[in-house]
Structure 1
Amino acid sequence: MMAEFVPRSIKPKSLFSKMLTGFLVVIVLLVTFNFVTSIYLKNKIHDEIVKYNELSINHTVEGYENHFRLSKNMVLGLNQNDRWITNLNILRKVKENNGYASIEDIKAELKTLYANPFLQFENVIIYFKNDAYVVEKDGTSSAQDMFGKFYRSPDYPLSFWNRQFEERIGFRVLPASRFTEKSAGIETSKGLLLPMLMKPLPYNDMYLIVMLDAQKLFQIHNISSDQHFYILDPDGHPIYTSTPDMPIEPLSAFDTTGQPVMKGHYYYFFRKGQETGFTYVSMVPTESISLQLIRLNTILISLLIVVALVSIAASVVFSRSLQTPLRKIIDSMQAWDTGEGQSKHGPIREFDLISHKVNQMMQTNKSMTQDLAHKTSLLRKYALTNKLKNIHMNLAELREMADTSMPFMILLFEIHFKEQYAELGIDQEKGTYYIREFIDSVLLRSYEESVTFQMERNLVLSLIFTADTEQGSVNQPIDYLKNMFDIEHDLYLVTMAVSPLYPASSAFTTAYEEMTQVIKQRKLLNLTQVIHGKQSIPEPYPFTVLMEEEFHTRLMSGHEEAVYEWVAKHLEQLGKRGAPVEAYWQFAKEVSLQTDKSLQKLNLHGQRGSGIVKPSFHMLSGFYSTEQFQEWFAALLQPVIQLVREHTEDQDPITRFVIDYLDAHLHEDITLDLMADKLNITPGYLSTYFKEKTGMNFSDYLNDLRIQRAKLLLDNLELKIQDVAAHVGYQNANSFIRMFKRYSGITPGEYRKKYASRLSVE
């Protein structure tokens, strides 16, 4: 009778009671485990915090020691450079040697040091005793100005730096100090700097000062930036302190065992550096460790309570939410039952019934799967046939339809219709459709599983599914297709790319991308081409600076024969290389680009579109002979040559004289006054007149002409930079370098290095 008053859902054998009991047992075990673990680990936490701080100081010491060693090696490593040593010897007596030119070379070498973001060099200063001056990143200055104005510090007056010449030291890290710069009565801070003094042997009249950014070093090499930290030298003097006025313990307070020391309100963690002998000390407040322990205990206890309460509540809710739908499922299953008795094999009868029904469904599913397996091939065939009705198809959909269990090959056909085909009056879309249908019919004779699609306007794709691992069997239909296409090659040209055999359709995307690259290797031939497998991509035909200058010169001459001869020469070289059509197309684009640049130099680019129409680039992809490219270049260049010739004929005698004189006397010292004197006119009038006629200032035209001529001379690797400067009218090499960088964006040396490989190819 009592059982009737117990709700059905919480009976001992019900699903709800079993699930709730299981959840509660797991919760009790987890809470007990966490509680015991927290008690056990409580005593270990203090040791772990101490260990963490010991690892932190070890990391800091290793970072500082490596940084000092690397800085020392990088600076002293300059002495391995013979050019560096030669320049130093010149600058040691700069006035006597008149060696001011060597200063730029020294600055360039120093730039590699302070420009390195990992070294944290604020500046590198070389102090020369004989002439009492320094060389640093901003140039040169007297020692008095350097240490009295630009790097002022009460700890490091000029007298201190002068005394260092008498010290017999090779390397020394000096205590950090705050440096300022005083200029025009305004004093600005340079921050806290850590000077590092290096005296390379065997010099006694010069040494180097590396200004390290002390605060950045601290931020980089310290794990906890909020701790107090300081560095002591071997004599116990502070080298650096992270915060001012911190309590500093003497070296005697630290024993040789390296164990942390507690004094007052701080734990002192310390280590001694092997490279410098410095002692690195990290101060951690004792309150910080105690607070961490208390906070951790509070968090653990709170978490245990919250997790226990939430878990119990979640167990009840989850058990109830799972019980309700399962109860309904059971009721439905019982309604479907035939009424035959079911044997109970477990403590929960609901699971027994679900198991019985699942077994029935699995048997049904198995029968259905076997039946569908026989229909899979037929369904795929119907799906592919249905897709044939759509000419342009989605590549992702095609991949989904591919049979993942069979190897496959890809045949990619690119079709280019000739002018004779247009005379027949047949639309090219229809022509591609007819060719696709013909390809499909030929391949289906040998491969029943093959399908053919039109991917683009002139691109047809065939998929051949075959279990035959030998690739030779596909050669017969390909040869047949080639012979048929050859018969009608006067109407259209077909290029076929034949892929290797791929094991499964998972590689379909990769295979298609590879074949689209292979099809681009079509040669400039008037016949059907078959390209098998992957092809090595030929080296691109370089359009060098020398080619640009030669083309510009011939174009500006206004002689058609000279320009067409240059184009024919390079088309012949492309043919000898066996270049694909795409390489010819890239060459045509470069020529068109250089044509526009040449017109811009003459301020004629705005007239390019006046009645002059560029031939289309789109037609280039279908060309199959050099003659077609020559006709295209003629259509591109003939109007331009005519425009240049008309411009040249319209030039007045004054402008013509100036341009011819500059071209012939470029190596001389030419000025606006000189040209005005030769023309017996005023410089102001000549400047205005020349700008009006050419669109450029006289000085800009002269410098641009010199730089363009210098680029040609730099192609000759046997000429020195100074020789090139003299040939184009710059008597001072530094002026030449500065002007070259202004007009070209890079120095002559960088220009020569950048284009050296291209010149060697040419």
Structure 2
Amino acid sequence: MPRIRWKVNMGLLKIFLSLLLVAVVMFASNYLVFENSISGIYRQVSENNKLVVKHVIRSFDQAFKEMNDLIYSIHALPYKSWEVMEDDRINMNDVYLMQKNMTTLVSSMDYLEEVVLFEKGSAFAITSQGTSSLEALFNEQYRHDTYNAEYWKSFAETNRTQKVFPASVFKVRVADRLVQSRNLIVLMGSNQISTYNIMLLIDVDKLLKHVNQTAMMQGTSLMVMDAERNRILSTDPQWDLVEMLNEVYFNPGQEATVKSRDYEYLFYKSDYNDFIYIDKMPVELAGTAPVVAWNRMIMIIGILAAVGLSILLSHYLYRPIRDLVRLLGGKTAEPQADYSRIRSGIEQMQLENASVKIQMETVHSEIRRGVFLHALDEFSHSLEFENRMQHIFADFFRTGQFMMAAIHLRPKESPEAGSEPPAPLRAASLEQTLLAGLREAAGEAGGHCAVFHAGSLQFLALIGLDRPSDREPVIRRMGQMLKQAGSGPLKDVTVMASVSRLYASKIQYCQDAYREVKRGLMYRDLSEASPVTDTQAIRYTWKVYFPLHEIEKLSNHLAGGNVEACLAMIRAILAKNAERHVHHHQLVPVAECMYYHMQQYVEPGKVDRQELIRMQDGFIRSVHHAVDYREIEAALEYAARRFAEWRKPAGDTKLEAEFIAQYINTHYKENLHLDHMAELLGTSPKYFSNYFKKAFGINFVEYLNKVRMAHAKEWLKTTDWSVAEIGEKSGYLNSSTFTSTFKKYNGISPSEYRRKSIS
């Protein structure tokens, strides 16, 4: 028993000494910090600040010297820009040379916003950017309620020396509809040197950056006054030193100091232009002695309290340790083992808590997702359901309005991959990536963003907005984000999205927004390069280009082995639809029709049935998830090349009506005759003629002429080719034969048919 008590006492002593050590360290560190002289630090900082201010003033003087030299240089230019020539026109050559030299002179002065040159009584001005009227320059480009064009015209009439106007906020037009507020100083040069009026517009922010004003001590302010003590510039517009300036006496060193209760004002007078620079610097607070006494008393009380608390806590901390050991799996007589047991038990609890936390977060996320998807259900929800889920609805809608976005991802695959879909991606990581991107796109305009996995690689997003005007910028940044995602986490997928209009933040509008984004994906324009479809910007069209005769030619070209012509026809049909901005759901059946027309000429024995099915599945998947029409074009081109490899050879199609019709539609431009067809099909001309009439109901020549007439009529309506050219392209050896044959079958000549079709 005494041994155990001794160990317990040693444990108490360890706890007491540990607490006391912490208190002693805290007291010693506070005392050392307190003993450092705050006033000495302040004096050192203030001296450094004075050196910085003097450097800033020298930079200001240098800047004003440069601007003064610039004005004298412009006055000295030999060009007579306002001199009227004999035909009452201004000498634009001198104007151009003047503007060019002005641009060269100001190119090294980055703090100059603009330089303006004009003569007294003239409304014409020259700037570094070109020429302009004073009204356009100061009533539109640089707008100010006081300093407008009339003011400067009136001021230019006076004889004066150089004048610096105080900094004022101008409305500067930087683009057609973009206006920015800029703080500018106007320096008006003297007009006693020449007839020129020269104005320098100085950007205050760039000037302060040029003189390195940010190097001054934090909390200080700077004021610049001209020789007449008029304030030109102040980094703190709240303070006014006009009355204090009357009491300032500048010593021979051009410096003076005035102290108030809270601030010290350092006055510097420039040797160059007698400008006055005032540095407003906070001073050390008065009455530091009571503060010192209180700080010492607080430290003494703190160390005494720490010693007392250490004694009390040392008696109570060991008892919970024994209780903890008992709760964590037993008890031991060794104090060191107690601490090890507590540590291992806590680590195990932390691991369990982390696991439970992850599980709860997953469950909560699935509940939110389930509630959101349930809200999209077309069936009405019970009042009890809405009441129970009200707290989740409130988390969805944190702003007054929202818009919904449907984002569909598709793993990137080439058409040759054909077939088998690639390995599935992790929906959770994609959801987090999209959420981070949407939050970045929403920026400050978005109150809240939420992304939900709707199944497969389809996601739905709710984006909260405070103002309707934020919608267009958010959609634009969202499109940029999805485009740039191709080199980031979404590099292995193709992205397309649809964005709804704004809705009030109520759960009943989710169904309307969902239907709208689904319609947006269905009506997306495949000719657009943007991955985002704005449902409000959709321009509906029904001008689908679906030429049946061209599609018939497509399959005929393939059957005849002319793959390149087949590919060119595919590109032409899809490009025509892209020019008409046909919607996705309209172009899909066109592509599928072309696919099935080509597939019908595959020889069954050359390809496995399962391979055909896999190829068809891959084609349908590529077409239905295409972002632009070029993906559909690539899928069709791949299918055409494969079908060309599997097509029926010409020798296997003897006396088949389908092949004969395809061959004639493909080779009608050539000199076709019975002997040629009989030789091609391996039979006699007489047998072929009888078979043709029985299969088609008319003889070979009649059928060939009708095919040629169909193409000729199309060319007469859609081209400006001559009748002779069309006859030649239709397969006739001369224009007279073509004209007589056309009149025989159509009742009128080709020229008359063209006139009637145009009218």
**Shared fold per TM-score greater than 0.5:** no
With the shorter chain as reference, the TM-score category is: 0.3 to 0.5
TM-score, length basis structure 2? 0.36
